[in-house]
Amino acid sequence: MSDDLRATACAHLPHCLKPLSDPARLEAAALPMHTQGDIGRTPLERLCDTLDAIFEACATFPEPSHSTFFARSMRLALAEAAADPALLTPMQREGSAGSYRRHLLIADPRGRYAIAALVWQPGQASPVHAHHTWCGYAVVEGKLRETIFEWDDARQCASALRAQARKRGAVSFVRSGRGAIHRLGNGSDAQAVSLHIYGVEGARIGTHVNDTVRVADAAELVRRLHVTT
């Protein structure tokens, strides 16, 4: 972000979010402290206040999610919200036996974002997918396993690159497109819960977020490797 744009963004931020305007300070900054006026507001309401301030600060950007400022701000907002033990009610932590369960928590009235909690029982996982929109998540409870994939445009499929454990407090943010393909799953023996923010209207959360992709067949990869060696 240029100095001029950063100054413009900073001018719109409330005091508690001023550290977000400086990338160097952001890396080392503590989570923003809420003001006395926040007393009585729920963690989700405070999260929405933060998201609204981020969007206001990025009002001059044609596409806010393309800015480093936006991405870093979203990560910090997710981390703060996920660390609050009062974030979710017991009902919002309820899972489903068939597959992971999504609870829509907040739908922005202006359609800029939707906030959801995903509950993962042991053995449940998402399909391998990219994203039609920007999105971010934080692990609220338990531990997830994230597998990262690489898109092969020539073959129109994805290949696994690596897997990593995502423990409580882990945060991620990605932009739309097939440059960020992954699969989330619960490989542990205990329930896991994650908090997600998507750049879509609440009504479109089930249809306009995940871009499910084809995964390269393992046998095909072995054959191709044999041919090229």
The contacts of residue 176 (CB under 8 Å, 6+ apart) are 65, 130, 131, 132, 133, 134, 199
182 labeled binding residue = yes
Q: What is the 3-state secondary structure (H, E, C) of 29-41?
A: CCCCCCCHHHCCC
Rg of the chain in Å (alpha carbons): 19
Task: Yes or no: say if 20 and 69 are a contact pair by the CB < 8 Å rule.
Answer: yes
d(CA 124, CA 204): 23
Please calculate the CA angle 40-90-116 and round it to the nearest 5 degrees. 80
Q: What are residue 150's DSSP bridge partners?
A: 159
With CA atoms as reference, report the closest residue to 146 among 122, 167, 121: 167
Give SS3 for 118: strand
196 labeled binding residue = no
d(CA 22, CA 123): 41
* Single-letter code of the amino acid located at 171: V
103 labeled binding residue = no
Binding site feature residues for Fe cation: 129, 131, 182
Residue numbers in the known binding site are: 129, 131, 182
